[in-house]
Structure formats: C-alpha cells, structure tokens
Amino acid sequence: MLAKLKSLLSLTGPQADYLRPLKTHDIPKVLTIERQMYSYPWSEGIFKDCLKIGYSNWAFIKDGQFVGYVILSVAVGEAHILNICLDPAYQGKGLGRQFLKEVLIIAKKKNANSVFLEVRPSNTAAVQLYKTAGFKKIGKRKNYYPAADGKEDALVLSLDLTSDSA
C-alpha cells in the first residue's frame, strides 16, 4: 500500500530520463561537453548570456547524471534550436532521438508551430537524426561555421510542428 502511494505521488525516486531548466551551476558541465564535441565551442560567456536573456534552456538528465543541454529560442510561433548537445559517452544509444523528441514537446508547449536549426553538413550523425525526426532542408547559410580550412556552410532545417507526424 505504501509503495503504491509513493508511486502515485512520484516519491519513488528521480525519473530515469528527463529535462529540467538549465541553471548557472550547470555551466561547467555544459562547457565540458561542449569542448568535447566541438572544435569551435561556445564560450562560457555565451552560455551565461543565454541564461540571462531568458532563452528556453534545458538540461537533459539520465539516471541522475547531466548528459546534455539545449538552448532554444522561442518567439512568435517559431522555435530555433541554437545549440543542442549530448555527452559523447551517451551517444549511439538512441538518447539523441529521445532528447530531441523532448525538446520538440517543449517547443509545442511554448506554442511554436515550427522549429528551425542549423547543422554542419559534415555532422552526418546529426543530419541523419534530424531527417529521421522529420526535419526538411530549407536552405543553406554560406560560410556559417568556423572550420580548420576557413569556413563551413550550414544546412538550415525546419520541422512543421502542426502536422500530425510532428
């Protein structure tokens, strides 16, 4: 009886996987992941500004561990994924798909009808993830990303959240 009551009241412990608001104290963990994943990572100041500005910033928690983050801008019915990253130790296990799905749910709850993002064409795993999730290529930004040999273009992708498949 007590176990059932605890379960109903969600007192049985933390959820295995969930998103929670990103906080200033998370920035060191964010920077660790950011620097592992990107040759040209965002700075600490950029992340602090994202928190200060009031973007929709989220931490992805798995089994009590901080494993990813997303910086999401939402305004006038549109969401823009500015930065989304998963700890490399947790990649290749379907968590990226789960994380992205949760981010899209947040965007819908914030009344976004569509989601946009930029991605490096050379990031084939991310491109495939977004295509599988239903994102469509709507354009290209020339020389958008810094690269070892100068600049790399960005693919601009969009997802319609008003369709039944989103």
Which residues are part of the catalytic machinery? 118, 130
Cβ atoms < 10 Å from Cβ of 69: 25
CA distance 94 to 115: 21
Residues 6+ apart with CB under 8 A from 11: 5
Q: What kind and span of H or E run contains 97?
A: helix 95-109
Residue with tokens 């608001």: 21
Give the span between the Cα atoms of 86 and 32, in whole angstroms.
11
Strands (E), the chain: 17-21, 56-62, 65-75, 78-86, 114-119, 136-147, 150-160
